[in-house]
Amino acid sequence: MRKALLGCAVAVMGMQMMAQGVKVVPDEARKRVDVTVDGAPFTSYLWGTAQKKPVLYPLIAPGGVEVSRGYPLAPREGERTDHPHHAGMWFSYGNVDNFDFWNNSDAIKVEDRGKMGTIHHQKIVSTKSGRDRGELTVESVWTNGAGEDVLAQTTLYVFGTKAGERSIDEVVTLKALRKVVFHDDKEGMLGIRVAHFLESANEKGGTFTDASGRPTPVQTNNVPGATGVYLTSEGKQGDAAWATRGRWCLLTGTTGGHAMTIAILDHPKNPNYPTFWHARGYGLFAANPLGQHIFDPKAPELDFMLEKGQSATFRHRVLLIDGAPGAADLNRDADAFAAEYR
């Protein structure tokens, strides 16, 4: 009897040890890669959705708090249901040679689909699990509405964990398969659609238009609980953060009486550093280094160009933090990130 109990205890301990750390587990049959921390969900890389691009969804902070919006992948009561292309966390752009890779989804009318672009997942290159970090490398291709492949994308994700914080490094390298121009546009590049509690209490909704003039109504949301406030490295707060530049931007809100934060860090090696913040009160939190004149009318149009065979790399770190860090904390984080990925 004692031996049997000892055997069961050893088996349980073995299972617990197997669950420890950051696990990155591919499931190609279901078109996903699941990431867990000590056996609990962190995020998943999904490419079998209607979003016309791979996404990370959901984003789960320490303590099991989901900080990403559920709609359109897993709608929840009380959430806004605008912008169906805003799913979890993604990387795309609104105007590549006049094709829109940002706004595309199954919601686009048939007659407009020729103006859109799609980012197709190609393959999982590698995965790695570890005690406090895991890695995923994937390849994808950007195909415009005329059916032409224009960019090859290689993405390294690094998933980290430490006390009170989870992190996602996203290192994207785009290689031009022909000459391409990223026309100056507000719709880009690393985007996150956040949970309701991280929306701004001041956001009343309205109609937002993309660079092509397509309107998207954002409904007024009278559901209580929106508490999100942006803060940038340059001290811009709340609604004033939109269309400004900075090395980092954080978004802090309260759920269940507890503060939670999402922060995005830019990297000095990125094109057009420091990035502009496409940070909206209704819940879009995005870093866009390739919009310029669209955000600052006094600045020249950027129109970032890659000749055939040229590459550009974009490095960002996303922090999911239990609590409400201050500017000094984020400056230290940004300094540490700047020292990496040289």
Taking the chain (342 residues) in runs of 10, the rounded mean pLDDT of each run is 46 53 98 98 96 98 97 93 96 98 96 97 98 98 98 98 98 98 98 97 71 66 88 98 98 97 98 98 97 97 98 98 98 97 77
Q: How far is the C-alpha of 257 from the C-alpha of 301, rounded, in Å?
A: 44
Containing 330, the helix (H) or strand (E) segment is: helix 327-338
What are the two backbone dihedrals, phi and then psi, of residue 2, each rounded to the nearest 5 degrees?
-60, -40
Q: How far is the C-alpha of 304 from the C-alpha of 182, rounded, in Å?
A: 5
Q: How far is the C-alpha of 255 from the C-alpha of 138, rounded, in Å?
A: 34
The letter for the amino acid at 199 is: E
Residue in this structure with the two tokens 């121009």, named with its chain if needed: 181
Nearest of 159, 120, 166 to residue 137 by alpha carbon: 159
> pLDDT at position 11, please?
44
> pLDDT at position 211, please?
55
CB 249 within 8 A of CB 311: no
Residue in this structure with the two tokens 């269309």, named with its chain if needed: 243
The distance between the two most distant Cα atoms of the chain, rounded to a whole number of Å, is 80
Structure-block tokens of residue 299: 């600045």
CB 44 within 8 A of CB 56: yes
CATH number of 2-338: 2.70.98
> pLDDT at position 175, please?
98
Q: Which residues is 286 bridged to in the sheet? A: 191, 278
> pLDDT at position 18, please?
53
CA-based R_g, the chain, Å: 20
Please, where are the H alpha helices in 22-84?
Answer: none
Containing 264, the helix (H) or strand (E) segment is: strand 258-266
Residue in this structure with the two tokens 């009343």, named with its chain if needed: 204
Q: How far is the C-alpha of 198 from the C-alpha of 309, rounded, in Å?
A: 40
Q: Which residues is 175 bridged to in the sheet? A: 152, 311
